Amino acid sequence: MSSAAPAVGPALDRALAVLAGRPLVALTGAGVSTDSGIPDYRGPNSPSRTPMTYDEFRSGEPARRRYWARSHVGWARMRRARPNAGHRALAELERTGVLRGVITQNVDGLHRAAGSRAVIDLHGRIADVVCLDCRQVTSRDALQERLAALNPGFAADARTETAPDGDAAVEDTAGFRIAACAACGGVLKPDVVFFGENVPPDRVARTYALVDELAPDAGGGALLVAGSSLTVMSGLRFVRHAHRGGIPVVIVNRGPTRGDTLATLHVDGGCSQVLPVLAAAVGGTLGAAG
């Protein structure tokens, strides 16, 4: 076994035995992006964060001003993030035909930047903005230019941490000017699923269908969970679905997860260290096993 992940030896060996020769689907969370400089919400040593809820965002202009001011600072940093070894390992598994798709709870777009193509962005993408009135979708970069013009020099020297959704801990947001939809003057919102908001039903249905392709009577695959504590039902439900369907579940995550009792095994380690080892070991085994 490679020395790339020395701390997880026996568990990693068992994971390789479970995954080898099977088609895979990956379910990823914030932990897969931490080594790209995007912190997670619930990993070891993560600071306490309270993300904005959908109801709060809709409550009025003060809440939206606070959100967009903090996002304006956070986006300038988040857009500079680049894929890490974990993202690239999953893209390589897709290239070899072993990985059938990535279901990501992340909004950072780094899977696609790494080369993954079969991606379900469960919670949307922070790079897109939607108007809540006319539903037009535009780019976050275009909005960033408008916000910069409306708020020259705002928080230019702020030295705050950025959350997984691009939010930055900027305290003084009272004078920030928000932008309306350029098409209809309506309310703009990042095209992501906020806490308290439902994932679009068609997206949920596509995700269940992808997991179902792993069922023993369909292909005999496995679900690989990477970098998610599975704390929220949005991701946990697919692990439960796989477990009920007799689909093996392997979790790679630093620290315990809410899905551990449903998993075949849990590899306690970082995605950037473990996923390249898995990719190298199982990337060529599907055809050989058949």
- Residue 97, annotated as binding a ligand: no
Residue 3 pLDDT level (bands cut at 50, 70, 90): very low
Question: Quick check: is 87 catalytic?
Answer: no
Q: What residues does 128 pair with on adjacent strands?
A: 139
Tell me the pLDDT tens digit for each residue of 233-286. 999 999 999 999 999 999 999 999 999 999 999 999 999 999 999 999 998 766
Q: Tell me which residue has tokens 């620290």.
A: 255
- The answer on whether 45 is annotated among ligand-binding residues is no
Residue 178 banded pLDDT, cuts 50, 70, 90: very high
Q: Are 114 and 99 in contact (CB under 8 A)?
A: no
On whether 187 is known to bind a ligand per the annotation, the reply is: no
pLDDT in tens, 187-196: 999 999 999 9
- Which residue would you say has higher pLDDT here, 136 or 47? 136
Domain with CATH 3.40.50.1220 in the chain: 1-38+83-123+199-290
Q: Residues 104-116: pLDDT tens digits? A: 999 999 999 999 9
Provide the token pair at 91: 């893209």
Q: CB pairs under 8 A, 24+ apart, for 260-266?
A: 263/225, 263/239, 264/18, 264/222, 265/11, 265/14, 265/15, 265/18, 266/11
271 annotated ligand-binding residue: yes
Q: What is the mean pLDDT of the chain?
A: 89
Please tell me whether 29 is known to bind a ligand.
no
Strand-pair partners of 139? 128
161 compared with 84, residue with greater pLDDT: 84
pTM over 0.85: yes
Of 87, 123, 243, 266, catalytic: 123
Q: What superfamily in CATH does domain 1-38+83-123+199-290 come from? A: TPP-binding domain (3.40.50.1220)
229 annotated to bind ligand: yes
The answer on pLDDT for 90 being more than 90 is yes
Looking at residues 110-133, what average pLDDT do you find? 97
Q: What is the DSSP string of 86-105?
A: HHHHHHHHHHTT-EEEEEE-
